[in-house]
Amino acid sequence: MTRLNDAALNEKGLAAAGSGKVLLLACGALAREILAVKEANQLDHLVLACLPAKYHNTPDKIIPAIREAVTEHRAHYDRIFVVYADCGTGGLLQAECEKLGVEMLQGPHCYSFFEGNSRFAERDEITAFYLTDFLVRQFDAFVTEPLGLDRHPELRDMYFAHYEKLVFQAQTHDPCLEEKARTCAKRLGLKYEYRFTGYGDLETELRAL
């Protein structure tokens, strides 16, 4: 896990109990967005600590990592909030958070809470492949290489046979990212759709803290 924000720590390297500080245990893929929400809303009482973004592709590692982090930091914060949605854990992360007595972000995954969980559920898009700002930036590291498409491009048709379009859920207005997302859609042989979401329910829930 990354080192905690030094500005929120005392001389022993820990946040002072009773200080009103809230520890955010977050997916590393959300770090940039969380910091942007913090700055825009002046949420200086929120302290960010991130687990490796690569857990995006290995959800079985999320629960033990969260358990370890909560155990390590529980005594040093007034509150801990887990900034993960279900993220492929099949409800087990929610159950673990309840057992640990900590809250977590609502929704099945980041694609849902960025768009807004209610709106996303209404769309019911089962043939859409989603990318966020982070995943567009890290497309090769999180899509191309793990799926072996760099070594075996013929696998594309097998992996994406049932998808019809790539939806770029943009958190920021960035023409360079949009152009890269178009390229990703072309590489996967999918139609392209741009959808600006902003930070969606992520911002709503962080502001509520």
Q: How much is the CA Rg of the chain, to the nearest whole Å? A: 18
Question: Do 150 and 81 share a domain, yes or no?
Answer: no
Q: How far apart are CA 53 and CA 138, in angstroms?
A: 10
Residue 15: strand, helix, or coil = coil
Residue 57 has φ and ψ, to the nearest 5°, of -100, -5
Give me the domain span that covers residue 150.
Answer: 111-196
Q: Is residue 1 part of a domain?
A: no
Please state the domain count of the chain.
Answer: 2
Reading the chain (209 residues) residue by residue, the pLDDT tens digits are 334 333 333 333 455 555 789 999 999 999 999 999 999 999 999 999 999 999 988 999 999 999 999 999 999 999 999 999 999 999 999 999 999 999 999 999 999 999 999 999 999 899 999 999 999 999 999 999 999 999 999 999 999 999 999 999 999 999 999 999 999 999 999 999 999 999 999 999 999 99
Task: Kindly report the CATH number assigned to the domain that includes residue 53.
Answer: 3.40.50
Question: Do 37 and 121 share a domain, yes or no?
Answer: no
**What is the DSSP annotation of 24-84?**
EEEEGGGHHHHHHHHHHHT-TTEEEEEE-GGGGG-GGGHHHHHHHHHHHHGGG-SEEEEE-
Query: Residue 56 has what pLDDT?
Result: 85
Q: How far apart are CA 31 and CA 9, in angstroms?
A: 19
Structure tokens that stand for 125 in this block: 């898009």
Q: What is the pTM of this model?
A: 0.88
